[in-house]
Amino acid sequence: MKKNDSRYFKWKHSVKLICLITIFAACYNVSFAQSVTVDQDLTFGTFCPSGTSGGTVTIDEFGNRTSSGNVILFSSTFSEAIFTFRAGNRNRTVYNITTNSPRTLSRVGGGGTMKLTLGTPNPTNFYVRKNQTKSFSIGGTLTVGSITANPGGDYTGTFALTFNYY
């Protein structure tokens, strides 16, 4: 498919994710305030499945994008997800961040789904001093079907991050 072909715009894919964040403490006194904010969404940019078998689009935790199989990447905006953990009024050591991966993303208006498998957060564990913050990032791999299974459009979904700390 040529870039100046009018069908090019028909197959545009844009994936947007909304993140749900859960914080768990390893101790019983949780009267101190800690928080996590979403600084940047996980965005896969514009791509197009070609052929009948599809493939994958991957954004790593550093924001690098690659594809495999029969997926063509187009020049567009894409990014890893970036979060900030705030320690609150006590020092915190985050020793584990887990996700509810894989997730299913649905096409806005119906007609297709894609599987999102989240990557490993970077860093996976860290120390944050009282009232200080630490940023971390996470990427993922999107499994893309054929153009029939995944018609062009926006695909959305959510994922949760769980923090274990002491």
User: pLDDT per residue over 89-119, tens digit each?
Assistant: 888 888 888 888 899 999 998 889 999 999 9
DSSP E strand stretches across the chain:
13-25, 35-40, 47-49, 55-59, 65-69, 71-73, 81-86, 92-99, 103-107, 113-118, 126-128, 133-138, 140-144, 153-165
Q: How far apart are CA 105 and CA 152, in angstroms?
A: 13
Comparing 24 with 79, the larger pLDDT belongs to 79
* pLDDT bucket at 52, cuts 50 / 70 / 90: confident
Dist. CA 40–CA 20, nearest whole Å: 13
Q: How sure is the predictor about 139, in pLDDT bands with cuts at 50, 70 and 90? A: very high
- What mean pLDDT is predicted for residues 128-139? 91
Q: What pLDDT does 32 receive?
A: 52
Model's pTM, two decimal places?
0.80
- What percent of the chain stands above pLDDT 90? 39
**Rounded CA separation 81/62 (Å):** 9
Choose the weakest-confidence range: 23-32, 41-50, 149-158. Answer: 23-32
9-18, 82-91, 103-112: segment of lowest average pLDDT: 9-18
Res 33: pLDDT = 60
Mean pLDDT of the chain: 81
Residue 19 or residue 157, greater confidence: 157
Q: Are strands 81-86 and 133-138 parallel, antiparallel or unpaired?
A: antiparallel
